[in-house]
Amino acid sequence: MAESVLETGKRAFAAFAEGWLTGDFQAYIDMLAAEVEFWYPAGSHHGQFEGAAGRAEMIAKCNDHTAAGDRLTLTPTYITANDTTVVIEFSASGVFQNQPYQGWNAIALGVTGNQISAFREYFGNLGK
């Protein structure tokens, strides 16, 4: 039986959260489709990227967080899904850019088969 969109999204988010916690995003990267729609609202990865370039930008973002020592604990609070997309709202706390961070985030993950074909993130800093 094929994994549902919701199950795939939850599994991808768990792998993404583990990457933030440990610096090892490989399990999440392994779930990315060959072509990814990647949207990110700030910083060096700001913009909208499509296809192989979107996948490469998503991987670069993960690798940059690993190299920088950014470590966050992601705690999901709301998860919803339709036939193609899983939206996860979550809190994030820890160290980001060598500073204490506490934020509220939402990520929309596009799911195609058992792979992630889109990553659109929205966030705000709630203070230290």
Sign of CA dihedral 22, 63, 86, 94: positive
Lookup: tokens for 1: 């039986």
Categorize the per-residue pLDDT at 1 as very low, low, confident or very high, splitting at 50, 70 and 90. Answer: very low
Distance, CA of 81 to CA of 110 (rounded, Å): 10
Q: What average pLDDT is seen over the chain?
A: 94
Categorize the per-residue pLDDT at 78 as very low, low, confident or very high, splitting at 50, 70 and 90. Answer: very high
pLDDT at 69 over 70: yes
Categorize the per-residue pLDDT at 126 as very low, low, confident or very high, splitting at 50, 70 and 90. Answer: low
Q: Convert the pLDDT of each residue in 30-43 to its tens digit.
A: 999 999 999 998 88
Q: Are 65 and 24 in contact (CB under 8 A)?
A: no
Categorize the per-residue pLDDT at 24 as very low, low, confident or very high, splitting at 50, 70 and 90. Answer: very high
Say what the pLDDT of residue 127 is.
55
Sign of CA dihedral 3, 117, 14, 103: negative
For the residues 21-32, what does the mean pLDDT come to? 99
Distance, CA of 71 to CA of 120 (rounded, Å): 20
Q: Convert the pLDDT of each residue in 81-112 to its tens digit.
A: 999 999 999 999 999 999 999 999 999 999 99
Q: pTM (2 decimals)?
A: 0.93
Distance, CA of 31 to CA of 127 (rounded, Å): 32
Domains, in order of start, for the chain = 5-125 (3.10.450.50)
